[in-house]
Structure 1
Amino acid sequence: MDAKVQITVLPGNEDIGVPKKMTDLASGFDLCAAVKESTVLAPGERALIPAGFAMAMPHNLEAQVRPRSGLAYKKGITTLNSPGTIDADYRGEVGVILINHGSELFTVQRGERIAQLVFQWVPHVEFELVDRLEETQRGSGGFGHTGI
């Protein structure tokens, strides 16, 4: 199930280019920071970091912006609203909401890999209004109902 995604590098971001997979079997395409100047994130601070491109996907596809594990583990840098969903009808610049959960200042440099983009199929869903739902053993138990 291959998909064709159209992508355009926004003016002034030719040096950033398009997202790339770092290995042949990687699930995600690395997103790079298209900041005009280095951006410093203090501990607890967040910022919307541009990725320098826009795209058009088929109607049954979504893109998810996810953290990079190395940045999260080594520096405490992750993405808010994770995974962030990019809908098929969005045509603006892709951006990444980064937050610094670390204890030190973190500087986002132009061209630095800051997140990853993973694509997922979106099924067509229709709701069926019913008076009653089928019972299950779990029922309405949630949020730790089976223990911590």
Structure 2
Amino acid sequence: MTANINIKKLKDSAVIPTYGSEWAAGADLYACLDTPATILPGNTVFIPTGIALEIPVGYAGLIYARSGLSCKQGLAPANKVGVIDADYRGEIIVALHNHGDSAKTVEPGDRIAQMVITPFLTANFIETDELNDTVRGEGGFGSSGKN
């Protein structure tokens, strides 16, 4: 399944997102920096991408960590999953957090996160006094794995 997504480069040096393989779900986002950015351990730095998107109504852009960057370098989005709404037209910025114990440097043009464009449902929340019963009931936080 494919969709056309309008994209605007806000800086000439911005890189259009790319897919790493034919069946990749996430498109890589690139750092659009004039100079390298160092992220100290336990700190978060906002990394610009230099792009803005026009996501279709009924879809969202979800920003996830890149597995290599997070597992090998300890750098991942601070908010775990960023959400780009269809009505947002500003620059896509990734808040990268350093989970490691040493400073890490993001260079201009580095791949910093991945974005998945996905459809979503908008819920109509209806208040009620009772909910339907299920076998699981109110069990949570690991209760479904118990014998």
TM-score (norm 2): 0.91
Q: 1:147 and 1:118 mapped to 2: Cα distance?
A: 30
Equivalent residue for 2:106, pick from 89, 105, 108: 108
Following TM superposition, by how much is the alpha carbon of 1:56 offset from its aligned partner in structure 2, in angstroms? 0.8
Aligned residues: 146
Question: Equivalent residues in 2 for 1:34-113 (5 A)?
Answer: 34-113=32-111
Q: 2:80 and 2:61 mapped to 1: Cα distance?
A: 12
Q: Which amino acid aligns with 2:8?
A: T
Following TM superposition, by how much is the alpha carbon of 1:35 offset from its aligned partner in structure 2, in angstroms? 1.9
Secondary structure of 1:73's counterpart equals: helix
Secondary structure of 1:78's counterpart equals: strand
Secondary structure of 2:143's counterpart equals: coil
Q: 1:126 and 1:2 mapped to 2: Cα distance?
A: 28
**2:24 aligned partner:** 26
Q: 2:68 and 2:104 mapped to 1: Cα distance?
A: 14
Q: Which amino acid aligns with 1:3?
A: A
Q: Which amino acid aligns with 1:100?
A: N
Secondary structure of 1:31's counterpart equals: strand
Is contact 2:9–2:51 with CA below 8 Å preserved after alignment?
Answer: yes
**2:119 aligned partner:** 121
State the percentage of identical aligned residues: 39
Gaps of 5+ in 1: none
CA RMSD of aligned residues (A): 1.6
Following TM superposition, by how much is the alpha carbon of 1:147 offset from its aligned partner in structure 2, in angstroms? 6.0
Q: 1:15 and 1:106 mapped to 2: Cα distance?
A: 22
Following TM superposition, by how much is the alpha carbon of 1:24 offset from its aligned partner in structure 2, in angstroms? 1.2
Following TM superposition, by how much is the alpha carbon of 1:59 offset from its aligned partner in structure 2, in angstroms? 0.7
**1:3 aligned partner:** 3
TM-score (norm 1): 0.91
Q: 1:45 and 1:2 mapped to 2: Cα distance?
A: 36
